[in-house]
Chains A and B, each alone.
Chain A
């Protein structure tokens, strides 16, 4: 209990004194996690919709692969990205290893299957009634897709949120490909690991509390957006 109180006080001191290192770590954490989540969503949502709403040869293998990758251990993803980006690797030419770019790439590998898998599952639940209703009304494929996305908007946003949750809490992959370099690639999770290792429990706990608050604030924001949105069609007046 004393440790938690001390941690809270340390967190307040670090935030209120505008500790430049802490703010740098928070800023980089947000940039990396939000970038990787946005990029993953841009890849995964269309992929999930495409797979979930169509039947084709080899679909089962793709679905099972995505489901398997949803549980991909971050260190394994980190290791693969590390090998690809290392100087002797196929993408070593770009010199991305130990940079925020490498951290984003590693997180995209972890988050994309999560968003794609959850999007796919939500689409599969709605596709039959939506498709049959639209076919029955003779609506175009474009309009059917738009209505399908509208019907699945909450689960899709939840899928993106789940992806973001994984990104902000992830430590193994970004530690490997980012290297936890001070003022360059150190983010909240890697800093917590480092400070705990050094015995600075107060600072580690402070970062943990800030991490939780940021996570809560972003979730709150996304929920507000979700609740405020509705079908953007023509209005009907009686």
Chain B
């Protein structure tokens, strides 16, 4: 899905927390949204998902101003799982699609396997750790095969292995289904590994946008440079 953001604006108590305009999310690509805390990354994702209402925003989804809710999936930073088994949580995303029970069960098992949670099918979701819950939440989102997937720090609670699995799954879905991904991250290495482009934000504005090699190695913006300095010293 191609998304043209003509204007994305959000005010809270008279203060602009998001003021982004004139950028495009191209179909079938992976975008990493980076920036310091309070930069407006989550608000941008919520506005793109149509969850956050903003009268001042103008966004075109494949040329239409209507938010195609049935084609967009959004995963919150603090993954919420329902008080049932892990398997049933993942099943929730596809149970109304009319597929056979066998097909659905296979899809659930496959999806859980890809996030390294195949042994947890019958486990109580509330008994999982934060990182495990995040992986299950991602499996629940990706099984739905939406055109645009918005992920708010999808691996913030996982360990290195969990993050790797999540990244591999995102890349696989992107490659096979041509799904467009926009995810927020504080990890420049993660953005470098899987993103086609980085959108860098600060104080609610988009300060830079470009391919990871350029943004991470030669940031043009002073704020971006400051944010990435320590990482660049260690990695570049």
In the complex, what distance in Å separates the CA atom of A235 from the CA atom of B87? Answer: 8
Find chain A residues with CB under 8 A from B82 CB.
130, 133, 147, 150-151, 231
Partner of A233, one of B49, B88, B146: B88
Tell me how far the C-beta of B52 lies from the nearest C-beta in chain A, rounded to whole angstroms. Answer: 10
Does B105 lie within 8 Å of A238, measured CB to CB? yes
Partner of A234, one of B78, B101, B109, B141: B101
Contact surface of B with A, Cβ cutoff 8 Å: 49, 51, 69-70, 72-76, 78, 80, 82-85, 87-88, 90-93, 95-96, 101, 104-105, 108-109, 118, 121-122, 140-141, 144, 146
Q: Inter-chain contact count A-B, CB under 8 Å?
A: 76
Does A137 lie within 8 Å of B105, measured CB to CB? no
What 1/0 flags go to A206-238 for Cβ under 8 Å of B? 000000000000000000000000110111111
The answer to whether residues A237 and B105 also contact, given A132-B51, A136-B73 and a CB cut-off of 8 A, is yes
The answer to whether residues A234 and B88 also contact, given A130-B80, A136-B51 and a CB cut-off of 8 A, is yes
In the complex, what distance in Å separates the CA atom of A130 from the CA atom of B78? Answer: 12
Which residue of A132, A133, A235, A237 has the most chain B CB atoms within 10 A of its CB atom? Answer: A133
Interface SS of chain B: helix, strand, loop or mixed? mixed
Does B88 lie within 8 Å of A137, measured CB to CB? no
Partner of A150, one of B80, B83, B85, B90: B83
Interface range on chain A (Cβ under 8 Å from partner): 20 to 34
Does A137 lie within 8 Å of B95, measured CB to CB? no
Does A136 lie within 8 Å of B76, measured CB to CB? yes
The answer to whether residues A136 and B74 also contact, given A231-B83, A236-B105 and a CB cut-off of 8 A, is yes
Does A133 lie within 8 Å of B76, measured CB to CB? yes
Chain A, 117-132, CB within 8 A of any chain B CB: 129-130, 132
Find chain B residues with CB under 8 A from A231 CB.
82-84, 88
Does B80 lie within 8 Å of A234, measured CB to CB? no
Identify the closest chain A residue to B95 (Cβ).
A234
Contact surface of A with B, Cβ cutoff 8 Å: 129-130, 132-133, 135-139, 143, 147, 150-151, 230-231, 233-238
Identify the closest chain B residue to A140 (Cβ).
B96
Partner of A236, one of B72, B78, B121: B121
Identify the closest chain A residue to B70 (Cβ).
A138
Does A133 lie within 8 Å of B83, measured CB to CB? no
Does B88 lie within 8 Å of A236, measured CB to CB? yes
In the complex, what distance in Å separates the CA atom of A133 from the CA atom of B105? Answer: 22
